[in-house]
Structure 1
Amino acid sequence: MARRNWTREETILAMDLYTRIPFSQIGKNNQEIIQLSHIINRTPDALALKMANLAHYDPELQERKVSGMSHTSKLDRIIYDEYSNNIEELSFTAQSILADMQHTSVDILLSELQLYDIPAGVDKDYQAKIRIGQYFFRMSVLMSYGNACCVTGLRNKELLVASHIKPWRVSDEKTERTNPSNGLCLNAMHDKAFDRGLITIDKDFHIINSRYLEEAVMDENTRQWFDYYNGKEIVLPDKFLPGKEFIEYHNDVIFQGA
């Protein structure tokens, strides 16, 4: 059988899945890889290898001396460079490709997002892209932290938040808003404290409590709970390490002071 070259659409789908699977779990037995391989008519082994090719360009993995596969194609580099900092566009494009391949619509494919409820008179594609981007931002961030709070280790998804380090409202919509490196997986309490600048993390990923948190009225058990984590290093993610530029923004603009 003649070897079939990877298309741009297939490579985009591989890149999209790469953002949602820990590097250590990329393999032919992964169920998400198996499912996508059936859709694109590739073997799970071939799809896993393509994702490892894309990992070759991941600067975080390079820094950790994990280089992925070295036999990459020009298209791999093009797709990685085009979408690595724009998860919103990647997710929207990938879901559109998947819908076409399966002869359905994105509305049906992602029915839980209720895209059909977008009001008339607005740019539906733009609003759909935002919802899809936020949805997959959460998936990517939680995946990176093993579906556990990076402060406490809490693993109940209903109590976890994909918290922006640099707030969504002031982030660049192409390179920052849905960039998983601009996210932390936090429990709901620490998420709210982080969002309000009552805690932050420093460049070495240690938690710092604000003096305003120290002065807040609370029962002794809650105070001890916050104090216990003050100064401790967060649990670092499998990929998408918190970006230093995002941390600096939170330290300088959001944090209310030590």
Structure 2
Amino acid sequence: MNKEPIVPPEILDKYSHFFKKLKRGVSKHLGKAPHKPVMLLAVIRGIRKNQITDNRLFITPELLLNFRETWNQVVDTGHTENFALPFFHMRSEPFWQLVAKPGMEIGITRSGSIRSFKNLQETVAFAQIDPRLFLLLQQPQTREYLEAQLLQQYFYTTKTNYRDNRDSAEESELEYQITHSSGEEYRERLLLLKSQLDESRYQEELFIRGGLFKRSIPRIYDHRCCISGMRIMATPNIQMIDACHIHPFSLSNDDTVRNGIALSPNLHRAFDRGLISITADYKVKVSALVHDKDSEFTLKQFEDEPILLPEKEEWQPSIESLIWHREEVFLG
């Protein structure tokens, strides 16, 4: 039986001290900002749910949803919720390091803050926390101790509202919209959100919805490529099937499942470039421009083959989207 690594008490005391002394911005009317402790509680949620499996913290829809849910439970001041601010400013803490994407510089304002969520997403590869801290947060006893420290220190009056539910209510609602809305309903909802939210918050919304789309499409196709049938699974967080928009989101504003199909990466690229398409009766068409007789893997082998479809009829690809792809993208 594997035993959990023993962490010396002084190491736990060290990070407990860091957690109690977070450097936080101060507003004249609102007091100290709650963003950093909320971010740490969101990370703890992610580790507990096995969404975070090493000390690299990527910007994921799951982490954003954890941040939002935690914020709604424990923040009762007039501060504005903003994920990008704490993810960026945690770099001033001794246990948190930002790693930029290759060749990118993190854009900051004159006041030294991050410009926007979009800028954070485009320039930051991940944040990295100390390996010893990650080890503490992996172990239930020390994780719960540090979590309690954060709640006691920063959210004493609201800590009883804190619930670490396995399923996020917001996540469930967004997944329902993606799987049950029509494309028109979905576009109308996004237009309404765009009129209500500032640009950074709207970009967060699109990022979360896009991430849930990418997760939902492979799931409803049983993680199989709908053309080749390929199904390769590794860990719970790694699989080899892409969620492919039929009508690109940049043009359609449609993240519903009927505007998506599950494809292996090579067939995803072929579909996006118009080398293959799908007919209204769900059969594969291959462009006459494709010449692949000398290859062991050919696109031609799929000509007129029926695609695999989701179990539920209401999740099957939109005929309108398929017609659009045939007319606007396919190199017939």
Q: TM-score, normalised by structure 1?
A: 0.51
CA distance in 1, matches of 2:306, 2:229: 12
Partner of 2:250: 169
Q: Which has the larger Rg?
A: 2
Residue 101 of structure 1: CA displacement? 6.3
Residue 129 of structure 1: CA displacement? 1.0
Deviations 1:188-223 (A, max 9, x none): 11101000000000000000000011xx35633223
Helix, strand or coil for the counterpart of 1:159? coil
Partner of 2:217: 141
Maintained 8 Å contact 2:246/2:261? yes
Residue 229 of structure 1: CA displacement? 1.4
Aligned residues with identical type, % of pairs: 26
Answer yes or no: is 1:228 the counterpart of 2:301: yes
Partner of 1:199: 276
Instruction: Map 1:177-196 to 2 at 5 A.
Output: 178-196=255-273
Structure 1 ranges of 4+ moved more than 2 A = 93-108, 116-124, 156-159, 216-220
CA distance in 2, matches of 1:192, 1:154: 15
Q: Which amino acid aligns with 1:186?
A: L
Answer yes or no: is 1:248 the counterpart of 2:323: yes
Distance 1:230 1:124, change over 3 A: same
Q: Which amino acid aligns with 1:245?
A: E
User: Alignment partner for residue 311 of structure 2, among 213, 233, 238?
Assistant: 238
Maintained 8 Å contact 2:82/2:201? no
Maintained 8 Å contact 2:292/2:300? no
- The gaps in structure 2 that reach 5 residues or longer are 1-48, 50-61, 76-80, 88-97, 101-105, 108-113, 117-198, 233-237
- Which fold has the larger relative contact order, with Cα–Cα distance below 8 Å and residues 6 or more apart in sequence? 1
Instruction: Map 1:69-84 to 2 at 5 A.
Output: none
CA distance in 1, matches of 2:82, 2:261: 28
Q: Which amino acid aligns with 2:115?
A: G
CA distance in 2, matches of 1:95, 1:203: 40
User: Alignment partner for residue 121 of structure 1, among 115, 118, 130?
Assistant: 115
Q: Which amino acid aligns with 1:246?
A: S
Answer yes or no: is 1:219 the counterpart of 2:294: yes
CA distance in 2, matches of 1:133, 1:250: 22
Maintained 8 Å contact 2:67/2:83? no
Deviations 1:46-99 (A, max 9, x none): xxxxxxxxxxxxxxxxxxxxxxxxxxxxxxxxxxxxxxxxxxxxx9x9878744
Helix, strand or coil for the counterpart of 1:126? helix
Q: Which amino acid aligns with 2:207?
A: R
Instruction: Map 1:9-158 to 2 at 5 A.
Output: 98-99=69-70, 103=74, 120-122=114-116, 123-156=199-232, 158=239
Distance 1:169 1:212, change over 3 A: same
Residue 238 of structure 1: CA displacement? 2.4
Distance 1:103 1:234, change over 3 A: farther
Report how many residues are paired.
Answer: 154
Helix, strand or coil for the counterpart of 1:141? helix
* Structure with more helix by fraction: 1
Q: Which amino acid aligns with 1:137?
A: F
Maintained 8 Å contact 1:99/1:106? no
Q: Which amino acid aligns with 2:241?
A: L
Deviations 1:87-135 (A, max 9, x none): xxxx9x9878744566488959xx9xxxx99963333211211211111
Distance 1:106 1:236, change over 3 A: farther
Q: TM-score, normalised by structure 2?
A: 0.41
- The gaps in structure 1 that reach 5 residues or longer are 1-34, 36-90
Distance 1:133 1:244, change over 3 A: same
CA distance in 1, matches of 2:219, 2:292: 35
